[in-house]
Amino acid sequence: MARLRQWQAQRLAATYADLLVNPQYAPVCQFFLSDIYAARDFSQRDQDAERLHDVLARFLPARMLSTLARANQLNRLSAQLDHSLADALQRIGVGETITAQQYAEGYRLRDNYVERIHQMSCWLSS
């Protein structure tokens, strides 16, 4: 997973290099690269977010929790898809580095187009 996250972060940084140097967008891009797709374990953060939702659900109406609930749902889906992709990359024998061709092959092997469309629609509705 760390290797996959590192590759994804490098790919995003290269794809959005123009935004990373733009003073208006650089902070949010840096946050995304350090706190969303960084090559580190986010399991504690994810558990804390789920626990926060559960605690707040006792006191707040559901409509007030909808953003946190959607963020948690998107996070769970993204983690599930990333774990599946990491497994596919391992199955095809990816070593220390991931190439664009291997990444694409892993995507094809997983064949989870419907889930990826759902993931993108979650991002767009957030």
pLDDT of residue 88: 96
Mean pLDDT, the chain, whole residue set:
89
pLDDT above 80 (res 125): no
CA distance 87 to 96: 14
CA distance 4 to 93: 13
pLDDT of residue 120: 86
End-to-end CA distance of the chain: 25
pLDDT of residue 13: 93
Per residue in 42-84, pLDDT (tens digit) is 888 888 988 998 899 898 888 888 888 888 888 889 889 999 9
Q: Which residues contact 53 (CB under 8 A, 6 or more apart)?
A: 65, 68, 69, 72
Token match 């995304």: residue? 32
CA distance 12 to 33: 8
Rounded average pLDDT over 91-97: 92
